[in-house]
Chain A
Amino acid sequence: MSKTEYTVEDFMLDPEFKKWVLAPDEESSAFWEGFLEKHPEKYENMKLARRALINLSRNVGEISDSRIEGIWTEINKFINEPEKEQAEGKTISISSESTLRSFADRQQHIAYRSGHQFYRVAGILFLVFSLGILFNLLREHPEEEAVEIPLVYEEYSVPPGVKSTLRLQDGSRVILNSGSSLRYVKNFEADKRELFLIGEAYFEVAKDSLRPFVVKTGPVSTKALGTSFNITAYKNEPLEVSLLTGKVNVGLKFEKPQEVILMPGEGLNVVIDRQVHNKHRIKEEKVLAWTRKTILFEQTPVEEAIRVLENWYGVQIEVLNRPERGVLLSGKFVDQTLEGVLEGLSYSARFRFKLDEDRVTVKFDKST
């Protein structure tokens, strides 16, 4: 195809043109300037192609070090599997006793072959008996081992402005909101899955009826078997447990310990220092908005809104002329910049704002 017939796309796909735009040298400059001179009608197309090339962008994910290790652990498990099986196959004799027993079994076996009914029955009985002992020996073994494993804690922290999804060893999935941290015993203990949360997280719990899944947030612990729920437990704010599916049991370690059972669609609001709690209906859209890049304010007090925005965007917000009568903010913002959100709120709440890198000033109009 002659370059004179080039569309914008063709220019972009021409390696020579791409080179001229992105890393020009004398030769390419001379060529394309000459070309433009001869074919001025191509100016528009070339201009658009250049602009599109320069702005061609992609959204690349950054994988965290902990995920790299997590995936490697899984791969490694597989690599080491066959060898482990072989090893187990060889080391059957647990003690001298079992060796002697198996020798005795062999003796019985010979007797069995000799055909005497008595030896046959005795042999079978003895075999059953010794298998029972062997089984018991084998069964006790892993229990002893479990006790010896030292508890290694794993901790995930997400700074303000960032969110993170993680998959736990048991298959459960957690989405951690900005400014939150989650701590738990690596690979969990044998009889429970216990996690400590500060901040906000959404849990999709993998079913495991033998190991209840317990999230501890100070004196409040939320216990689930296989469900999905959301917990908000930021410092100095009321704690909120919201249940989407399944059933959870929330234990409150107050002076008078209490237990509250939540059913799907119910939420529990706990004010820890006043030791009070109340149950209410939740809206899934609102609870899970943060996992869908959505900020949702519904009659939200300014203080709370500010905290949400600071955490969401990783900025500091200073409020001037804070109105004495509390202002409530409403609005829904999907995948918006901070500027977009503030702009949207500023009309109804009557404030002006200034953005300066990660410092933000919000100034309410005097009249409100």
Chain B
Amino acid sequence: MEIVPKLNSLPQETSPEELWLGLKSGDKYAFEQLYRRYVRLLFQLGTSITGDAEFVEDCIQELFIDLWRYKKNIKPTDNVRLYLFRSLSNRINKEKKKASKGSEKQRQAAMFFPSRIESVEVKIINAQREEAIQKKVAGILTKLPIRQNEVIQYLFFENLSYEETSKLMGINLRSVYTLAWKALSTLRKAILLVTAYLTTPSPW
């Protein structure tokens, strides 16, 4: 007998960790719930890193198929989101490495998909955001090397700690810091350039 609660009977309040256990024991319903709960988050993260919606969709699809295929071997986790982010990140990095090695068909530049610009924190009231800069920064982020882009996503947008980021990316704390520093340095230079270009006085 399974120790897992009957998920069908429970309302939406089932925690992700319980759903995870459900998946491990082969509960299709729990698996579908996991998919529905995380697909948007994963898509947002993936497109922010790669700027390529179709590629990310493929990655997500394969990620979930593999989850089901290897469900018996998945480890229990107290942080499903982190686990899924890590799986997605591994997959993206693996695929991109493959693509850059084999000089076969280069993927076409990312096609259109509905998107929006999202800033770090929405709560600050009188912070004067500058649309031109934001657009520029968002654009540069996707042009950074993937690992640099990733570290910014985790630290600033997904609000993960340095420890979580280091675990997720499989590198030590020092490397997380160095990687983020490099990325910010590029971004900062771009911001300065845009600022010089705009004539509006800088707010402070």
Interface residues of A (CB under 8 A from B): 8-10, 12-13, 15, 18, 21-23, 47-48, 50-64, 67-68, 71-72, 74-75, 78-79, 162-165, 167, 173, 175, 291-293
Contact = CB atoms under 8 A, between A and B. Distances in A.
B97 interface: no
28 contacts: A13-B177, A15-B161, A21-B124, A51-B203, A54-B119, A54-B127, A55-B130, A55-B134, A55-B137, A56-B120, A56-B137, A56-B156, A59-B118, A60-B48, A60-B116, A60-B118, A61-B46, A62-B113, A62-B115, A68-B36, A68-B40, A71-B60, A72-B35, A74-B61, A163-B112, A165-B112, A165-B113, A291-B112
B187 interface: yes
Given A52-B184, A57-B135, A175-B111, A71 B117 contact: no
Interface of B: 28, 31-32, 35-36, 39-40, 43-44, 46-48, 51, 53-54, 56-57, 60-61, 64-65, 68-69, 109, 111-121, 123-124, 127-130, 133-135, 137-139, 141-142, 152-153, 155-157, 161-162, 177, 180-181, 184-185, 187-188, 191-192, 202-204
Contacts of A8: 184, 188
Contacts of A10: 181
Given A59-B47, A59-B48, A71 B57 contact: yes
Contacts of B141: 57-59
Given A57-B117, A165-B54, 7 more contacts: A48-B192, A51-B191, A56-B187, A57-B119, A59-B118, A61-B56, A71-B57
B188 A52 contact: yes
A15 B123 CA distance: 17
Nearest to A75: B64
B112 A78 contact: no
B184 A62 contact: no
Contacts, number: 160
B138 A61 contact: no
A53 B133 CA distance: 11
Most chain B CB within 10 A, of A54, A57, A167, is at A57
B184 A55 contact: no
A21 B116 CA distance: 23
Contact of B40 (A9, A63, A292): A63
B37 to A, nearest CB: 11
Q: Per DSSP, are chain A's interface residues mostly helix, strand or loop, or mixed?
A: helix
Nearest to A59: B138
Given A55-B137, A162-B114, A164-B113, A75 B121 contact: no
Contact of B115 (A18, A51, A60, A78): A60
Nearest to B68: A79
Q: Which 8 A-B pairs have the closest CB atoms?
A: A61-B47, A57-B134, A163-B112, A22-B121, A63-B43, A59-B138, A9-B184, A60-B44
Contacts of B120: 22, 53-54, 56-57
B117 A58 contact: yes
A54 B156 CA distance: 11
Contacts of A164: 112-114
A292 B110 CA distance: 9
Given A23-B121, A175-B111, A62 B116 contact: yes
B111 A165 contact: yes
Contacts of B153: 58
Nearest to A293: B112
B44 A61 contact: yes
A75 B61 contact: yes
B39 A68 contact: yes
Contacts of B47: 59-61
Contact of A13 (B36, B44, B51, B184): B184
B83 to A, nearest CB: 17
A292 B138 CA distance: 18
